[in-house]
Amino acid sequence: MNGITVANIRRAKGNLKISGLAYMAFGIWEVLKVAIEIGTGIIDPFGFAGLDQYDVKVIFLTALITLFFLSAIILTLHFYVGFSSMRFSKDPTTSRHFLNVSLLLTLYYCIELPFMLYGSFTLDQSVDDTTIASILFELTSIFILIDIIRSGRILKKSVDKEPGET
């Protein structure tokens, strides 16, 4: 079985379940973080829309719409990867497209991390607890996604084995 033992398969299935659940929890936290950042003014959705601070109703509506779309995108990606990895751990013959999405998300986080580090250490000149927590959050997300990809590949290899092998 190309060096894949029953214990490795069992471990990969357990890792996929736990990592999928953890990635969904990280998605919920990321949505909460965006809501908090918009609510406290760290992220200014009004600047993105090109609005002035004169019309409170328009600004409030824009903030809600922005929050809704960001939340929908974030949760969709996190829950797709999470649920798909949990489903794949139960039945490795299901779709493997979540592995490609996981790889793209890992690349995104790896590209985003240096920009986050550069912006926090050179532009602000002061690193606060929120910045450190965000960096650790990104690193943990990368670790979870790498674990999902690695475990998914192990299960994929176990399914792709020759008929008659055990």
Number of H helices, E strands in the chain: 5, 0
126 Cβ contact partners less than 8 Å away, ≥ 6 residues apart: none
- Pull the structure tokens for residue 147: 């674990």
Count of domains for the chain = 1
pLDDT, residue 150, reads 94
Q: What confidence category does residue 115 fall into, taking pLDDT thresholds of 50, 70 and 90?
A: confident
Spell out where 50-159 has E strands. none
pLDDT, residue 19, reads 94
Instruction: State which H helix or E strand residue 117 sits in.
Output: helix 97-118
Stretch 109-126: mean pLDDT: 74
For residue 61, what are the domain limits?
A: 6-158
Whether the pLDDT of residue 50 is over 60: the answer is no
Q: Is residue 1 part of a domain?
A: no
Stretch 116-143: mean pLDDT: 76
pLDDT, residue 151, reads 94
In tens, the pLDDT along 66-113 reads 778 878 898 999 999 999 999 999 988 888 899 999 999 999 999 988
Q: Is residue 12 part of a domain?
A: yes
Q: Is residue 92 part of a domain?
A: yes
pLDDT, residue 134, reads 81
Report the C-alpha gap between 26 and 152 in whole angstroms: 19
Q: What is the mean pLDDT of the chain?
A: 81
Q: Is residue 163 part of a domain?
A: no
Stretch 50-58: mean pLDDT: 60
Whether the pLDDT of residue 11 is over 60: the answer is yes
Q: Is residue 146 part of a domain?
A: yes
Spell out where 52-126 has E strands. none
Q: Is residue 166 part of a domain?
A: no
Q: Is residue 165 part of a domain?
A: no
Whether the pLDDT of residue 1 is over 60: the answer is no
pLDDT, residue 148, reads 95
pTM higher than the cut 0.75:
yes
